[in-house]
Amino acid sequence: MAQIEWKEEYSIGNASVDEEHELLITQINKLYQQLNQPLDTMVIESMLSDIQTDISTHFALEELLMQEAGFAEFEDHKQDHERLLDQISDMIFHFTEDPESGRELLINRLSDWFSNHFRGFDSRLHNQLC
């Protein structure tokens, strides 16, 4: 499991969105650190809840900006957001049902889950907004 490093390719050129991207990276990296400590399910569940809430809020901001900009891929990007929210919900559910295997799932998938969206949909959004 590698921590996520901020990369300029994650920037979409909107200060609010970019700050939220950096905050989400910080939160996920703190979660990774916690996942590598002795298992404390209450702390991890709290961190996951905060991440899920912040991601949902972040996606709402992105969607508003896309609508205002007339972003051609709005519907596809919104569907990807919904898919990602479903996936984070599934990872959280898996963790609460079986913390040990849930920890492994989070360690193995969370960074890719986050980075792939940045490199795909968000990079195309950046190209339209900048």
Q: Which positions ≥6 away from 26 have C-beta within 8 Å?
A: none
Using the predicted structure, report yes or no on whether residue 74 has a pLDDT greater than 80: yes
- Domains recognised in the chain with CATH numbers: 14-129 (1.20.120.50)
Residue 38: strand, helix, or coil: coil
Please list, residue by residue across 67-78, b when 16 or more beta carbons sit within 10 angstroms of its beta carbon and e when fewer do: eeeebeebeebb
pLDDT by residue (tens digit) across 39-51?
999 999 999 999 9
Q: For the whole model, what pTM was predicted? A: 0.86
Is residue 4 within 8 A of residue 22, CB to CB? The reply is no
- DSSP E strand boundaries for 35-108: none
